[in-house]
Structure 1
Amino acid sequence: MQNEDQPGGTPEEQKAGGPERYAFEAPQRPSGVEFKKVRRAVAPGAQPRKTAKGRRRWPLITAAAVMLIVLVWAGMVAVQGVRAKGHLETAAGLFSQMQQQLQRGDLAAAEGTLAALRAETRAAHEQTTGVAWSAASHVPLVGDDLAAVSQVAAVLDVLASDALGSLLDAAKGLDPQSLAPQSGRVDLAPVVAAGPRIAAGLASIRSARQRLAGVDTGGLMGPVRTAVEQLGDGLARAEQVAATADRAAKLLPVMLGADGPRTYLVLFQNNAEVRATGGMPGAYIVVKADAGAIRIADQGSAARDLKVFDPPVQDLGEDLTALYTDRPAVFPADVNLTPDFPTAAALARDMYRKRTGVAVDGVLATDPVALSYLLKVTGAVTMPQGEPLTADNAVRLLLSEAYAKYPDPTDQDDYFAGAARATFDALLAGRGDPKGLLAQMARAAGERRLLMWSARPDEQATLAGTVLEGRLPEEDKDAPTVGVFLNDGGGSKLSYYLTEAATLTAGDCAEDGGRLLTLKLTLGSTAPAAGLPAYVRGLALSGDPHTSRTNVMVFSPTQGGILSVTSGGQEVDLGSGIERGRMVGVITVDLPPGASQTYEVTLLTGPLDAAQTTVTPHLWTTPGVRPWDTRVDAGGACRPNV
């Protein structure tokens, strides 16, 4: 290597004055002479060369600059995170506040809260977007958490700016008072106007759910994962509410005759003689609706006016016939031996058509317990005979005392028909607080005491999956569903005295990813040992006129089955069949007055979603005179052995 202090370089460099260097004439400085630094002679076009010391300095300066930039960037992200957290916490409080205002019906206050909510969610969204936050979302360890927070803020901003605004606008146009019947007519215009706004709000919620579903929560920190999961749960509930409103906005106008007259058969189920959907169809009324105007066009008794059909009105198919014989298609009182309301409703429609020549557009069903809920709002109604019907005495009068007061079945039918008409007239007159009526109707529907079926396939498709449909799901997609349904087996009215309790527990995992379920079922009787009217005692098929006989049907989850039934440690004989892809076990239970009987049923589900962290089964039961005592216990997820 050539020394920098010695002449060198190429011949061309030497001719040009040599390479860049310092030149000294001697190692010692003579007295009085100062040496000066000789200017560098640089060849034309040549670049100055750095010293080793200079080369070492620049990487340090660059590293320091980069570190400073990183610190500033990290600081910016941290500040944004703190600010976003504050906005999101404030937004959460405003969401809760708005929910309470909507429940109270204070729409003006809710509108003000929405404005403040929008400001907070917009600010949170702005703080979690931009170059700094986007870059940080790719940093190992914390990047996925920052990306998730950004998604949460974005979803909340969409909800506040789009979904809630649309739904609030719809609510402002749907004042319950405007929906109350006036002189037998419902104004359909507000519902028609609100429909597009409700649909837009529902679409926005579904879009937000889809966006949030793209967040992988597997590697998130606990608080962030919890926030994402809670938002997901909240969106699911919001979608359910909005979807119900959307269905109502689509169905209510057309079903009340917005596009032409409609006719409906309304069945009143007598819970004193239990059937799978609630009770034996007894009295009925036929309602006509035209452009919102509603009137009663006919009424009668299933047994007296519809009578018996020979041959059956429909071929039930092999599965239903094996379970119920052909009785549901022969006797109007037995159409709902099956818990599948669409099947029962179609049978009832055919029976009414064959007797009257009128093909109704749909069938509804309710019971005296639901009527008592409505009477809480309308107040007492005057009966054609006997004392006024009230929320407190309706169930007792209609399901028990009527049989002692009116021994003749014809008089009983007239009394039940009078009760149905009196309550319906009170509703059409607009009696009671509309908001309260809607709440009580929702309560009845939630208990499956209000069922609806449409003979028009497109409308029935809109009802599918709702509590009004009265049909077990075709597939247990989210959770296994078990049904426990009751049918009177003694031809009596002793079901009025039944008590029911059921506990459903998720147990061990099966090898295929399924789950063992344990159902503990207890039936009891509070019937007196003597003194009941002959019509209540009925046919006494159990052998004792005061002993009730009930056929209990247990429906397994889809793709599952019933493994065993025991009582007191002993195996119980079990009838079995298939309905709509579910195994059905049938137990006949005889209960003397004051007695009770407990059964333990072991069931198996089909394979469940391995991604679920917990499994909570669903339990459906027949609505009774009194609420069932039920409990459902969840279990951890099952994963198939591979």
Structure 2
Amino acid sequence: MHSMESTPAKAGRAPTRRRVVRVLILSVLLCGSGFAVAGWEARQAAQARGHLLHAATLFDGLQSQLAAGSFAAASTTVTAMRRETAAAKERTGDLAWRLGGHAPAVGDDVRAVRTVTSALDDLAAGVLPSLVNVAARIEALAPRGGVVDLAALSDAASELGAAEVTLRRIRDRISAISTGHLVGPLAAPIAELDGQLSRAVELIGSALRAAKLIAPMLGASGPRTYLALFQNPAEVRATGGMPGAYLVIEADRGVIRVVDDGMASGGLAISNVPVLALNPEMTALYGTAIGRYPANINQTPDFPTVARLAREMYRRHSGRTVDGVLATDPVALSYLLGATGPVVVPGGPELRADNAVHVLLSDVYAGSRSRPQQDAYFRTVAHATFAALSRRPIPARPMLAQLARAAGERRLLAWSARPDEQRLLAGTVLEGVLPQDRPQAPTVGVFLNDGGGGKMSYYLRPAARLGDTGCKLAGRSVLKLRLTLSSTAPAKGLSPYVRNSAAALDPYTIRTHVSVFSPTGGSVIEARLDGVGSPFKAGSEGRRAVGIISVDLAPGTSRRLEVTLLADSGTVEAARLWTTPTISPWRIEHPPAGRC
């Protein structure tokens, strides 16, 4: 799950993945050399060494070919890899190697070498060909003339399903190796391979779920309708921004079209009482307005709750019951424009990747448009960008890469009213739900809600630092969150619609309600604003303690909020941070654990 980590942390991941197979193979060869010195099948070990070294070189080339879209060459490379790994498996599978698995002192190492060599062969034969096939056909997954090829999706799901089964079996075999008594050069790479295979299973599993999910959601078995909300982070809300324009999209057997549009302020019903029964803990935190006013539905970061409220508000207004709710924002749109190219919008400037955010979240409010004209423009933008995405021929690879980027930042959210489909969304970044923590990997949430009633969040710049203090309280780990909020707002010159309207507050001050969610089963102990103890509204949501603190920022100033939290366990290996997606990316730090 993406927590908007700092760039250096990201940069180190891909080389590790590329390195693991080569490191493992070299360690297997080193172990094999030890057997040869002891008189174990020297010739076969040397031959296996040669085959696996060649396989490692081919693996490096395969990754480059896939990145470049050279799928015919990649297929040829996989075939060559299969020959090499099969030969290595054969060289380590004869009677002498099998007997060696029962020999004293080195038996565990012999068995580990045979298991890993066999697993690498299974990977080359049963996983890589399917992944190359899916990658080669990925262009068929992009919409063409408003139609998505559902047969291509079905084929991709079939290939990915077979690959996932095989990969899980390989991962389980590697996980079953007891590394405690293996020689050092073999134990560490096997443990690393185990972790990498587990992550690969997760990635393929996510892709498989997407392939299984998209076809029915696109009307493979009958028409579906979806309410697509466009969030406005210039007036920040926990899931991203206040709901603005919306489209209602119908999908029928892969054919996609818009059947309704509007603005949330007028197209979602307002009610004197919540449109749906609210969880008492949610009412205690946010009041009943979260269930009565469209502008307030996403004060909670729990997107399924947001979606159900939006669906019911739209039903009351229109009489139509949609099958699901989607949400995105102009930042995600700017990413997609990098794949689609510019979009012409009647009545406004051409939208490009480098200007969309500024045009849609700043310029539109600075001009002479009235509020109804602004609303009409946003609806026009929604239609124009939908047409570009669904009908313009777009290369699938860059489009999917940008969609993945937006989803990783939680700028794409999805909810389905159908339980079987919602189960497929569960646990993905699209679901918009804080994860259930593992004891040693707690998650802290920091979610922002505008408190000024304007569009001043455009000038908000957030940063956060989360770490383990090294201290314990009642045997549980104490975490420290340091949140810095800065304002780049000018001191004059903004339109009345942008300036905040909060009573007794300077109109150029940014007021933000900061909701800090503890780890699952944890608590919020203390808050200090600029070094001074600060009261906070306490509550809970989804087995997490919540503290809400209001922060006011004058133009050009910064303030620091420090929150002390209690984890649910006494050992923290890696604390994660989930944040509201904002216009400006968060700066996130995870310092090493301190000493109490």
Global fold match (TM > 0.5): yes
Q: Residues 330-367 of structure 1, C-alpha deviation per residue, up to 9 Å, x if partnerless?
A: 01111110001111011101111111111101110000
Pairwise CA distance, 1:370: 0.8
Q: Tell me if the contact between 1:616 and 1:634 (Cα under 8 Å) persists in the aligned partners.
A: no
Q: Tell me if the contact between 1:542 and 1:548 (Cα under 8 Å) persists in the aligned partners.
A: no
How far apart, in 2, do the equivalents of 1:338 and 1:205 lie? 38
How far apart, in 2, do the equivalents of 1:517 and 1:225 lie? 33
Q: Tell me if the contact between 1:542 and 1:590 (Cα under 8 Å) persists in the aligned partners.
A: no
Q: Determine if the alignment matches structure 1 residue 119 to structure 2 residue 77.
A: no
Pairwise CA distance, 1:84: 3.4
Q: Determine if the alignment matches structure 1 residue 240 to structure 2 residue 202.
A: yes
Which of 550, 554, 568 is equivalent to 1:588?
A: 550
Task: Tell me the equivalent position of 1:489.
Answer: 451
Task: Tell me the equivalent position of 2:496.
Answer: 534
Q: Tell me if the contact between 2:273 and 2:288 (Cα under 8 Å) persists in the aligned partners.
A: no
Which of 578, 582, 592 is equivalent to 1:620?
A: 578
Percent identical pairs in the alignment equals 51
Q: 1:195 to 1:389 in 2, by over 3 A?
A: same
Q: Determine if the alignment matches structure 1 residue 576 to structure 2 residue 532.
A: no
Which of 143, 151, 175 is equivalent to 2:138?
A: 175
How far apart, in 2, do the equivalents of 1:179 and 1:109 lie? 21
Pairwise CA distance, 1:131: 3.2
Q: Which region of structure 1 is more displaced relative to structure 2, 382-391 or 277-286?
A: 382-391
Task: Tell me the equivalent position of 1:193.
Answer: 155
Counterpart amino acid of residue 113 in structure 2: V
How far apart, in 1, do the equivalents of 2:368 and 2:339 lie? 28
Task: Tell me the equivalent position of 1:358.
Answer: 320
Q: 1:404 to 1:169 in 2, by over 3 A?
A: closer
Task: Tell me the equivalent position of 1:392.
Answer: 354
Q: 1:601 to 1:149 in 2, by over 3 A?
A: farther
Instruction: State the SS of the aligned residue for 1:539.
Output: coil
Alignment root-mean-square deviation, CA: 2.3
How far apart, in 1, do the equivalents of 2:494 and 2:156 lie? 53
Q: Residues 436-493 of structure 1, C-alpha deviation per residue, up to 9 Å, x if partnerless?
A: 1111111111111111111100001001111111111133366211111100011111
Pairwise CA distance, 1:588: 0.6
Q: 1:442 to 1:589 in 2, by over 3 A?
A: same
Task: Tell me the equivalent position of 1:453.
Answer: 415
Q: Tell me if the contact between 1:616 and 1:633 (Cα under 8 Å) persists in the aligned partners.
A: no
Task: Tell me the equivalent position of 2:109.
Answer: 145
Q: Determine if the alignment matches structure 1 residue 506 to structure 2 residue 468.
A: yes
Counterpart amino acid of residue 121 in structure 1: T
Q: Determine if the alignment matches structure 1 residue 104 to structure 2 residue 62.
A: no
Counterpart amino acid of residue 175 in structure 1: I
Q: Tell me if the contact between 1:77 and 1:136 (Cα under 8 Å) persists in the aligned partners.
A: no
Q: 1:506 to 1:85 in 2, by over 3 A?
A: farther
Pairwise CA distance, 1:313: 0.6
Gaps of 5+ in 1: 1-70, 637-642
Q: Residues 1-47 of structure 1, C-alpha deviation per residue, up to 9 Å, x if partnerless?
A: xxxxxxxxxxxxxxxxxxxxxxxxxxxxxxxxxxxxxxxxxxxxxxx
Q: Which region of structure 1 is more displaced relative to structure 2, 347-356 or 156-165?
A: 156-165
Instruction: State the SS of the aligned residue for 2:376.
Output: helix
Q: Which region of structure 1 is more displaced relative to structure 2, 395-404 or 505-514?
A: 505-514
Pairwise CA distance, 1:182: 2.3
Counterpart amino acid of residue 133 in structure 1: W
Pairwise CA distance, 1:78: 4.8
- The within-5 A match list for 1:304-315 is 304-315=266-277
Instruction: State the SS of the aligned residue for 1:94.
Output: helix
Q: 1:154 to 1:359 in 2, by over 3 A?
A: same
Task: Tell me the equivalent position of 2:566.
Answer: 604
Q: Residues 495-550 of structure 1, C-alpha deviation per residue, up to 9 Å, x if partnerless?
A: 00000111112332648874332221100000001111111113134611000110
Q: Which region of structure 1 is more displaced relative to structure 2, 431-440 or 589-598?
A: 431-440
Q: Residues 141-195 of structure 1, C-alpha deviation per residue, up to 9 Å, x if partnerless?
A: 43323322222212211111112223333334x231x233222111211111232
How far apart, in 2, do the equivalents of 1:72 and 1:251 lie? 52
Task: Tell me the equivalent position of 1:203.
Answer: 165
How far apart, in 2, do the equivalents of 1:431 and 1:459 lie? 28
Pairwise CA distance, 1:95: 2.3
Instruction: State the SS of the aligned residue for 1:537.
Output: coil
Instruction: State the SS of the aligned residue for 1:554.
Output: strand
Q: 1:260 to 1:406 in 2, by over 3 A?
A: farther
Q: State the number of aligned residues.
A: 563
How far apart, in 1, do the equivalents of 2:337 and 2:386 lie? 10
Pairwise CA distance, 1:621: 0.7
Whose Rg is larger?
1
Q: 1:117 to 1:508 in 2, by over 3 A?
A: same
Which of 93, 102, 125 is equivalent to 1:129?
A: 93
The structure with higher relative contact order (CA 8 Å, sep 6+) is: 2
Q: 1:542 to 1:141 in 2, by over 3 A?
A: farther
Which of 154, 158, 183 is equivalent to 2:122?
A: 158
Counterpart amino acid of residue 586 in structure 2: W
How far apart, in 1, do the equivalents of 2:113 and 2:82 lie? 17
Q: Tell me if the contact between 2:36 and 2:42 (Cα under 8 Å) persists in the aligned partners.
A: no
Pairwise CA distance, 1:230: 2.3
Pairwise CA distance, 1:81: 4.0
Counterpart amino acid of residue 566 in structure 1: R
Task: Tell me the equivalent position of 1:341.
Answer: 303
- The within-5 A match list for 1:404-443 is 404-443=366-405
Task: Tell me the equivalent position of 1:330.
Answer: 292
Q: Residues 579-598 of structure 1, C-alpha deviation per residue, up to 9 Å, x if partnerless?
A: 10011111110000011011
Q: Determine if the alignment matches structure 1 residue 94 to structure 2 residue 58.
A: yes
Q: Tell me if the contact between 2:480 and 2:565 (Cα under 8 Å) persists in the aligned partners.
A: yes
Q: Residues 536-577 of structure 1, C-alpha deviation per residue, up to 9 Å, x if partnerless?
A: 113134611000110111111112222222244332212211
Q: Which region of structure 1 is more displaced relative to structure 2, 127-136 or 395-404?
A: 127-136
Q: Tell me if the contact between 1:553 and 1:586 (Cα under 8 Å) persists in the aligned partners.
A: yes
Gaps of 5+ in 2: 1-34
Q: 1:517 to 1:175 in 2, by over 3 A?
A: same
Q: Tell me if the contact between 1:489 and 1:541 (Cα under 8 Å) persists in the aligned partners.
A: no
Q: Tell me if the contact between 2:439 and 2:569 (Cα under 8 Å) persists in the aligned partners.
A: no
